[in-house]
Amino acid sequence: MALRETPPASDSSLVQIVDAALLLAQSRSGSWLACKPGCSQCCVGVFAINQLDATRLRNGLAELSLRDGERALRVRQRVADSVARLSSDFPGDPLTGLLDEHADGSEEFDAFANEELCPALDPESGACDLYSSRPMTCRVFGPPVRSEAGLGVCELCYRGTTAEEIAACEMVPDPDNLEFILVQELEERTGVRRKTIVAFALAR
């Protein structure tokens, strides 16, 4: 059984801040936000996660092993199957699971494993088995979140709304950039600085 790792002490604070921002965005959005249990479109296709996300996920799986060993074993089997499928074309080091330095922004990564189901997803229920430990990308998916490209939203949400109505529901998940600080702290402590993906994070 995997042992719990030690994330930065303030990771729980970060999770609370982001989850509170999500609840606020949900209340503003009402029925425009289509996200609900069983809706798993955002669980298809790989995405880069940082080492803080990876640590949180591994701890979540360790906790699941204590609560529900059979469920955790199913997650681990999906992880092993995913790693086996993805290793040959992995845009990084498949032994460590670390992406190339700039792979998460490259054309190679953009074209990689876009149909791969997240191994944390229970394909029967359509629910995430590691929901409380999910990465930040998952926590902010759905509501409008600002990036360099503008406000991004899930294509299933905010149908029939105006740009102004979408903007009024904007989610500001981490206003003080706490995640950046915590990632730096963890990287300094562990020496692991490159990103990975969910399957390889959980395979450790």
* DSSP letters spanning 184-198: HHHHHHH---S-B-H
d(CA 123, CA 24) in angstroms, rounded, equals 29
The number of CA neighbours under 13 Å toward the Cβ of 73 is: 3
Tell which residue, 42, 30, 201, has the closest CA to residue 137.
Answer: 42
SS3 category, 155: coil
**Full DSSP string of 34-45:** ---TT--GGGBS
Per-residue pLDDT of the chain (204 residues; tens, 9 = 90+): 455 678 888 999 999 999 999 999 999 999 999 888 778 889 999 999 999 999 999 999 999 999 999 999 999 999 999 999 999 999 999 999 999 987 666 788 988 999 999 999 999 999 999 999 999 999 999 999 988 778 888 888 999 999 999 999 999 999 999 999 999 999 999 999 999 999 999 998
Identity at 171, one-letter amino acid code? M
Per the document, the length of the chain is: 204
Specify the amino acid at residue 152: G
Q: Return d(Cα 56, Cα 132) in angstroms, integer.
A: 9
Token readout for 173 is 């998940």
